[in-house]
């Protein structure tokens, strides 16, 4: 039995999707309505890895240092995946803090945790290298998690294989919930944290089948209801846990929202070029390269994957080989002696509508000069408008040091931004700043993360703010326990 608090993490659950489908989501929608529909903003960037790191520790990404930006301007053009071990979290999480205060915790499938560690009372990790760790080890036979089912993840899947992928995600959700129920039935703890991962994966792969406004919406298909059905399944889990523990407060939250990956592109590097902040490499005849061959290769590769899929072993191999990355964003594209600012990798590789702009190392001598350069770039970019609609290209753009101030701030690009959500930031130069048929990544993964539309809902816990940040979650949990016995 869970005595004091259940925390349910649902990866990628979107506020707007919940509001749209309140009629089939009676549990979560009721909890949101009773708290006057509070909002929750993700971290920047709104990626799963930094967001859950912040939820667990209460620190923003510039403080805990887990940030999904890679510096494209290092001139080496190497893939540098973010890498960290459990020591980054051990002793710093909300469950460790509650343990120190004498509370027993069960922690299930925490994102980012590889091997786990002994806590009072139970931790079951997500699959890592196809293994699931249970602490204490003697409880393995009691819960027997199935790694073959739990290893299902977002895949670059062909259209003909979507049905099998849907079934895999449903099986994964049911296995996560089977174990969660077993823990409630067998453990006597004060806190249960459990994490459901499939909502995010389903949306990444099935969004265009769900979203009638998507430029590539195929009309009604057998997959049209896959996204709302997965929300409905998650909502049923919340309801069943509430029935199992009727007097136990519940907190439901997601790490970021979800929507369409932009089909349209905004060429941010071309904007910087026209503003005098970036210089391309030139060919022997003195003309800048248009990247036509690279564009052709990308389009052909995406078409192949959409038709035939991309097996997981190939995805893992591709991450270790820098060639794939150079198709999207290559440090060899620009004259680094003359370039002072360029688009960060986050958008360049994923075609997100949010991203960052880096200042080349050595372009300025002091922090004051760098801030002044950033302000000039921001002022210039704020004035750029989408021509045929006469609306600003950027919803907002700011210096990163006006948002975050931690010791790892240098891992961020100096400028961060949010474009109009229909447009993804594109690395390549081109004649047009905006193109409505220029995107590629939506063919691999039609869904994408959103910054402003994470979900927070509660039963038996006061949520008195209209707007919450990811850094608030740690405080909500620990302060609830500080007050519950007083």
| R_g of the chain computed on alpha carbons | 23
Non-local CB neighbours of 44 within 8 Å, separated by 6+ positions: 61, 354, 403, 404, 416, 451
3-state secondary structure of 247: coil
The answer to whether the beta carbons of residues 357 and 377 sit under 8 Å apart is yes
Please name which of 87, 92, 194 lies closest in space to residue 145, comparing C-alpha atoms: 194
Token match 């101030």: residue? 405
Stretch (H or E) spanning 250: strand 250-253
Phi, psi values for residue 237, rounded to 5°: -65, -45
Q: Show the tokens assigned to 135.
A: 């602490």
Cβ–Cβ < 8 Å for 104, 121? yes
- 341 token code pair: 């600012």
Q: What token pair was written down for 397?
A: 């753009």
List all residues 6 or more positions away from 91 whose beta carbon is below 8 Å from its beta carbon. none
Per-residue pLDDT of the chain (486 residues; tens, 9 = 90+): 999 999 999 999 999 999 999 999 999 999 999 999 999 999 999 999 999 999 999 999 999 999 876 655 554 544 455 678 999 999 999 999 999 999 999 999 999 999 999 999 999 999 998 899 999 999 999 999 999 899 866 555 678 889 999 999 999 999 999 999 999 999 999 999 999 999 999 999 999 999 998 888 999 999 999 999 999 999 999 999 999 999 999 999 999 999 999 999 999 999 999 999 999 987 544 455 555 545 555 555 555 555 545 544 444 444 444 444 555 556 678 898 999 999 987 665 678 899 999 999 899 999 999 999 999 999 999 999 998 899 999 999 999 999 999 999 998 999 999 999 999 999 889 999 999 876 777 878 899 999 999 999 999 999 999 999 999 999 999 999 999 877
């Amino acid at each position: 039995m869970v005595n004091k608090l259940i925390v349910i993490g649902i990866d990628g659950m979107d506020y707007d999707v919940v509001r749209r489908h309140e009629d089939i989501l009676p549990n979560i929608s009721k909890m949101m309505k009773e708290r006057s529909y509070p909002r929750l903003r993700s971290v920047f960037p709104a990626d799963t890895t930094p967001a859950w790191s912040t939820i667990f520790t209460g620190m923003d990404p510039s403080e805990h240092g887990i940030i999904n930006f890679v510096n494209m301007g290092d001139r080496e053009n190497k893939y540098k995946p973010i890498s960290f071990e459990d020591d980054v979290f051990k002793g710093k999480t909300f469950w460790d803090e509650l343990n120190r205060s004498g509370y027993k915790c069960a922690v299930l499938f925490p994102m980012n945790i590889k091997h786990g560690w002994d806590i009072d009372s139970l931790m079951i990790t997500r699959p890592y290298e196809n293994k699931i760790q249970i602490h204490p080890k003697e409880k393995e036979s009691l819960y027997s998690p199935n790694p073959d089912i739990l290893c299902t993840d977002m895949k670059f899947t062909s259209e003909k294989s979507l049905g099998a992928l849907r079934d895999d995600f449903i099986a994964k959700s049911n296995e996560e919930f089977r174990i969660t129920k077993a823990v409630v039935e067998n453990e006597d703890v004060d806190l249960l944290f459990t994490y459901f991962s499939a909502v995010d994966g389903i949306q990444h792969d099935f969004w265009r089948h769900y979203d009638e406004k998507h430029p590539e919406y195929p009309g009604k298909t057998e997959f049209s209801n896959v996204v709302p059905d997965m929300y409905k399944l998650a909502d049923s889990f919340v309801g069943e846990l509430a029935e199992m523990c009727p007097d136990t407060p519940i907190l439901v939250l997601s790490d970021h929202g979800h929507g369409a990956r932009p089909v349209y592109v905004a060429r941010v590097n071309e904007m910087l070029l026209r503003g005098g902040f970036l210089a391309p490499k030139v060919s022997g005849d003195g003309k800048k390269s248009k990247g036509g061959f690279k564009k052709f290769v990308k389009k052909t590769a995406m078409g192949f994957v959409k038709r035939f899929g991309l097996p997981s072993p190939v995805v893992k191999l591709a991450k270790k080989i820098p060639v794939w990355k150079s198709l999207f964003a290559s440090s060899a594209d620009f004259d680094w002696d003359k370039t002072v600012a360029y688009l960060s990798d986050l958008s360049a590789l994923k075609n997100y509508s949010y991203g960052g702009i880096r200042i080349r190392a050595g372009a300025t001598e002091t922090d004051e000069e760098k801030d002044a350069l950033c302000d000039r770039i921001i002022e210039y970019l704020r004035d750029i408008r989408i021509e045929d609609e006469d609306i600003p290209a950027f919803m907002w753009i700011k210096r990163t040091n006006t948002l975050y101030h931690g010791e790892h701030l240098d891992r961020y690009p100096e400028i961060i931004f949010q474009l109009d959500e229909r447009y993804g930031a594109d690395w390549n130069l081109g004649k047009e700043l905006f193109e409505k048929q220029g995107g590629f990544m939506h063919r691999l993964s039609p869904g994408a993360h959103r910054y402003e539309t994470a979900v927070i809902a509660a039963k038996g816990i006061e949520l008195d703010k209209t707007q919450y940040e990811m850094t608030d979650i740690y405080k909500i949990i620990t302060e609830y326990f500080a007050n519950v016995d007083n």
